[in-house]
Structure 1
């Protein structure tokens, strides 16, 4: 054998041996929590036909890999407790997982309000004794996307609850986990699988989405995301230099901090397509945007996150003259990382070249979704101009956005479905508010979908959207109120519960910082639903009404029969009444025993009542004896403002 060929042969053998070594999915690591009181399923990969042995606390089970190299082994049920060691052997490969607890595993799903980390809230954990007990463990899934179900998640392993680790974890998830662990005494595993600004359909399986005609076109992809991305990168080279990365801004290096911008105009970029600006109306091609920013007070990290969110269509982004990112596709989220080494305390220069291939262009995500960097006025200047009708965009393969149906389920949830879990907590809906009527079908479909894959009896708890935005001067349509109603209607499914948060939102921030009460409300509901608790966790909910004269008598169901109002005179804000003309007007209300009397001066024959029916109904008075707010409701069934509005792949999605 010739020497070169011999060493190629040897290296090939070494590579194959390495590829066939025992491997575990990312959800099985040191410090993990496995579901108690249920058979324990473990799986992984090794050489085809190889014997695999799994041992834990004297229990031993064997399995064998199939032709695909996948092995699965099931251990008997174990009670809550630990720590344990799990030993897995395959041939000469041995993996030991230490500090393993048996307990309850909860998935924490949704969008940004579930993703929101503890460090960005006012809460600081001072119970160091509880932390040292390590009875809550954390697994944070790093979001990926794919057209087809993946075989593994992307994660860095289970973490014990140290201060720096919990700071990066879901605040709602953490407070929920701590509450139920302290109340139940059972070890808790929390799996954070969420991503900001994502719609419910992104978290549904392809099979579930097939039931909805509006998604079928987007489900036609036959390959994996890796295949599509590879084709995209290949096609991009053919037009990049000729049609795209050229023009006066490139040749003039407008991305350098020393660029003279005295002649540049200014505009508000967030949520405003540039066609709304007279000087950019009907302009297609490149527009350069620039602004300065300072580092946050006390910044000490090795990198700074930069969230520009969605841009129509493509962008290249520089900071202080250094290129930090490039993204193609109007639905994709621009989440970049700026190395600390190129930053200074004051006056950093952020430059973004936005390239539009036709139609609307610019930063399409509304300002309230983003951080401070998006808000305010930016300098801008036109760069390369193109004829959109002749631009060869058809040569591109558009990379899948995080907002495409199914892609987040496939990459981040599907690989976990063999994992036995206790239940799910969910905080999502903001991104579907514009299609709230559609959510009436999508949200229950998601719950049934996850139950089909994780177990048909798993508890599913969620957070109803909080109050947000300006208080309306007059009653009118509210997409957020309609979304809340859709969430409320999902309670018709068994083994579900909803935490009402209409009292703890923030008018000016879609991400209210009070995640402590959200977690505790979910926790109290979970204790009643799953742990035999008797917590006063129920909110007053509309039961029925009766007309008496010019008033409506409104009755509620609640955990206790006592209703309260915070107003010292007994009055209640937030009610609306409509007469036979269907026009709603503000109403007055007060408590009479445990019935709310609602009337409107001048309205003789009220026929319908609404309560807290707006994006932000303002301060509310009506609570149960437990202090929990009455849930928003309406007694009428008039057509919703979002009726008929369905998913459309051509419309920007937030």
Structure 2
């Protein structure tokens, strides 16, 4: 998935709005140019000195309160019809004025990289300034932050009016969704893009939501239950680290006493090892303690920068790194990424010696993930140093932050700061990172939806999501598919009220996990919103499976709401169907439309039992559509055991 190295600069960022008092401060979601939710009471909150009087003035009316003992305050503005612009003035010891405020509908646009994907990256470039310079659409991209406890404000973000320039670095799916809504509803639309590529759903769930699932218990008890922030854990570790290092971590290691980190070290007896990889998969599988690993590297030709970044990826559990005998960094925690900027004064054009002391305190061990920078992958030399008994080794609790998959961290940093905001709903495009645990997603995804409804204090908060597009090669014959199972898990969430699904099965790209047609995705989400949430009679969504009937060796498939079906094939054929008999083995099937049902059959299956449609990572070209132009959603009629059953989140401390 799309991952940007610069995001790691934000890891460990802790922003506490009310740490420093004196004057009124607002969370940064409250700015000029923003949208407030129409038709609902709107909470405005912030901090100041304790017992300070706070007043909000707008449209000739005043609303007053006093701060609590911790300096926090909240004022609820009465519900308001769509419109604007308005000015809101907040007064205490200082005055803050917010201008160009609109009342309309706010949608949070979440998920992973296909939601993060920018307008500038779409296939058909957006150049219609006359249409896109729309003052009634406002855009906000939330900054990234992570923590074990809920934060008070977002790390960054700015409300912008929609124009041909501001949309370019904004979520394409969100923009096309918002534009279609605004042009059909004629009310202001506020879009909050709050997402990150490659993230799993559990990273966006609250601490409380995770508590109910046993697979998160070990992680929850170690990191979330204590309710300690990154800042607090880092301070505790810094305090105990000198004593711990002297007594435990850096003791009895010949590599330190003999200075194996120096380039002059004799390595003729050192052995070869492949990097990246876990020690549990090689000759070090029974070793816990320090292993000294070494290789050389050259700088790129004509390299003129002041620093050179060494990216070791993820290391289980701790590491210290040296370049040409100079210590360049150390990190604790097996999920944290190692990015060390080496000063040019330490470097030479060729044959720089990189030495890493990798310390395994139990479990797998090793430098195991160099996805970000594979330049250092390959053969290394190694020699074992200090050996420990992992069962008795004192392992300190450190911040262990894998931004893409550590449960609750992105919720706490990116969603918790805005849960007091009144919003219209959520659009969501995510699931790729959970595909290998698709059966688990069947329970996580609805729990996630319910969690956000609880956190936003809106029991019926609308939630619309994208069913994953096709990706990877087409199968030669029917087979298990993680992505098909994930789509099936997504569709099961439609059992929750106020949900809707946009099917993207026909607009994927076999060779690109980021298909560039985001316009149709956004419009399909908007159609789902218009139909399911705004109850516009002319709106429509992809048909979903309802029930089947077996008759004369055929399976007759019916769909909910009796849609008008067509085949895009000129002969009326329908691709993508598979059928199984009593042996539960699927065979490709023939199918045709009859009276807005689909008749499925195969000469290989005389007594059919079940049907699957578009059941593959990428089912290839499909023909089954409605007269409105939307594809039928993938489905299965069976309840056979799936390939991902039993695969759940695993945390290795």
TM-score (norm 2): 0.81
CA-CA distance at 1:63 after TM superposition: 0.9
CA-CA distance at 1:18 after TM superposition: 6.7
The answer to whether the Cα contact below 8 Å between 1:536 and 1:626 also exists between their aligned partners in 2 is no
Paired position in structure 2 for 1:230: 235
Comparing 103-112 and 193-202, the one that deviates more = 193-202
CA-CA distance at 1:361 after TM superposition: 5.1
For the residues of structure 2 that align with 1:127 and 1:75, how far apart are their CA atoms?
Answer: 37
Residues 415/597 of structure 1: CA separation in 2 closer, same or farther (3 Å cut)? same
Residues 323/491 of structure 1: CA separation in 2 closer, same or farther (3 Å cut)? farther
Comparing 488-497 and 218-227, the one that deviates more = 218-227
Paired position in structure 2 for 1:257: none
For the residues of structure 2 that align with 1:107 and 1:383, how far apart are their CA atoms?
Answer: 49
Which ranges in structure 2 are unaligned for 5 or more consecutive residues? Answer: 1-17
Paired position in structure 1 for 2:188: 187
CA-CA distance at 1:205 after TM superposition: 2.1
CA-CA distance at 1:89 after TM superposition: 0.7
Match of 2:424 among 414, 418, 422: 422
For the residues of structure 2 that align with 1:125 and 1:338, how far apart are their CA atoms?
Answer: 38
The answer to whether the Cα contact below 8 Å between 1:139 and 1:155 also exists between their aligned partners in 2 is no
The answer to whether the Cα contact below 8 Å between 2:109 and 2:426 also exists between their aligned partners in 1 is yes
Residues 382/167 of structure 1: CA separation in 2 closer, same or farther (3 Å cut)? farther
Match of 1:460 among 463, 467, 476: 463
For the residues of structure 1 that align with 2:135 and 2:357, how far apart are their CA atoms?
Answer: 47
Per-residue CA distance 1:346-394 (angstroms, 9 max, x = gap): x9x99896936254456756x9xx67x55x9944423563456357973
Are residues 1:60 and 2:62 paired?
yes
Paired position in structure 2 for 1:613: 615
Are residues 1:399 and 2:404 paired?
no
For the residues of structure 2 that align with 1:549 and 1:466, how far apart are their CA atoms?
Answer: 34
Paired position in structure 2 for 1:70: 72
The answer to whether the Cα contact below 8 Å between 1:264 and 1:379 also exists between their aligned partners in 2 is no
Paired position in structure 2 for 1:389: 388
Paired position in structure 2 for 1:641: 643
SS at match of 2:162: coil
CA-CA distance at 1:234 after TM superposition: 4.1
The answer to whether the Cα contact below 8 Å between 2:262 and 2:324 also exists between their aligned partners in 1 is no
The answer to whether the Cα contact below 8 Å between 1:287 and 1:384 also exists between their aligned partners in 2 is yes
For the residues of structure 2 that align with 1:149 and 1:533, how far apart are their CA atoms?
Answer: 37
For the residues of structure 2 that align with 1:161 and 1:532, how far apart are their CA atoms?
Answer: 26
The answer to whether the Cα contact below 8 Å between 1:539 and 1:558 also exists between their aligned partners in 2 is no
Comparing 286-295 and 199-208, the one that deviates more = 286-295
For the residues of structure 2 that align with 1:212 and 1:104, how far apart are their CA atoms?
Answer: 34
Residues 250/107 of structure 1: CA separation in 2 closer, same or farther (3 Å cut)? farther
Number of matched residues? 610
Two-structure CA RMSD over aligned residues (Å): 4.1
Are residues 1:252 and 2:257 paired?
no
The answer to whether the Cα contact below 8 Å between 1:319 and 1:338 also exists between their aligned partners in 2 is no
For the residues of structure 2 that align with 1:587 and 1:447, how far apart are their CA atoms?
Answer: 36
Paired position in structure 2 for 1:3: none
Comparing 318-327 and 235-244, the one that deviates more = 318-327
Per-residue CA distance 1:224-255 (angstroms, 9 max, x = gap): 2221122234455553994799698842399x
Residues 468/70 of structure 1: CA separation in 2 closer, same or farther (3 Å cut)? same
Paired position in structure 2 for 1:437: 439
For the residues of structure 2 that align with 1:557 and 1:102, how far apart are their CA atoms?
Answer: 36
For the residues of structure 2 that align with 1:394 and 1:198, how far apart are their CA atoms?
Answer: 31
CA-CA distance at 1:52 after TM superposition: 0.7
SS at match of 1:498: strand
CA-CA distance at 1:609 after TM superposition: 0.9
* 1:539-618 alignment, distance < 5 Å: 539-557=542-560, 560-564=563-567, 566-618=568-620
For the residues of structure 2 that align with 1:311 and 1:17, how far apart are their CA atoms?
Answer: 34
Match of 2:245 among 239, 256, 259: 239
Paired position in structure 1 for 2:107: 106
For the residues of structure 1 that align with 2:164 and 2:322, how far apart are their CA atoms?
Answer: 33
The answer to whether the Cα contact below 8 Å between 1:146 and 1:411 also exists between their aligned partners in 2 is yes
The answer to whether the Cα contact below 8 Å between 1:249 and 1:384 also exists between their aligned partners in 2 is no
SS at match of 2:145: coil
For the residues of structure 2 that align with 1:324 and 1:138, how far apart are their CA atoms?
Answer: 41
SS at match of 1:174: helix
CA-CA distance at 1:181 after TM superposition: 1.8
Comparing 24-33 and 154-163, the one that deviates more = 154-163
CA-CA distance at 1:54 after TM superposition: 0.5
For the residues of structure 1 that align with 2:355 and 2:79, how far apart are their CA atoms?
Answer: 55
Are residues 1:497 and 2:497 paired?
no
Residues 584/387 of structure 1: CA separation in 2 closer, same or farther (3 Å cut)? farther
CA-CA distance at 1:214 after TM superposition: 2.5
Per-residue CA distance 1:267-298 (angstroms, 9 max, x = gap): 785xx65766x688778735467889999xxx
CA-CA distance at 1:513 after TM superposition: 2.5
Residues 596/333 of structure 1: CA separation in 2 closer, same or farther (3 Å cut)? farther
CA-CA distance at 1:51 after TM superposition: 0.9
For the residues of structure 2 that align with 1:510 and 1:437, how far apart are their CA atoms?
Answer: 21
For the residues of structure 1 that align with 2:470 and 2:323, how far apart are their CA atoms?
Answer: 36
The answer to whether the Cα contact below 8 Å between 1:232 and 1:399 also exists between their aligned partners in 2 is no
CA-CA distance at 1:499 after TM superposition: 0.7
Residues 588/129 of structure 1: CA separation in 2 closer, same or farther (3 Å cut)? same
The answer to whether the Cα contact below 8 Å between 2:64 and 2:75 also exists between their aligned partners in 1 is yes
CA-CA distance at 1:461 after TM superposition: 0.3
For the residues of structure 2 that align with 1:267 and 1:507, how far apart are their CA atoms?
Answer: 31
Paired position in structure 2 for 1:41: 43
SS at match of 2:410: helix
Residues 354/575 of structure 1: CA separation in 2 closer, same or farther (3 Å cut)? farther
Comparing 128-137 and 222-231, the one that deviates more = 128-137
SS at match of 1:192: strand
The answer to whether the Cα contact below 8 Å between 1:290 and 1:378 also exists between their aligned partners in 2 is no
For the residues of structure 2 that align with 1:304 and 1:135, how far apart are their CA atoms?
Answer: 46
The answer to whether the Cα contact below 8 Å between 1:82 and 1:102 also exists between their aligned partners in 2 is yes
SS at match of 1:135: strand
Comparing 613-622 and 632-641, the one that deviates more = 613-622
For the residues of structure 1 that align with 2:327 and 2:630, how far apart are their CA atoms?
Answer: 50
Paired position in structure 2 for 1:205: 206
The answer to whether the Cα contact below 8 Å between 2:263 and 2:353 also exists between their aligned partners in 1 is no
Residues 360/184 of structure 1: CA separation in 2 closer, same or farther (3 Å cut)? same
The answer to whether the Cα contact below 8 Å between 2:565 and 2:593 also exists between their aligned partners in 1 is no
For the residues of structure 2 that align with 1:618 and 1:291, how far apart are their CA atoms?
Answer: 44
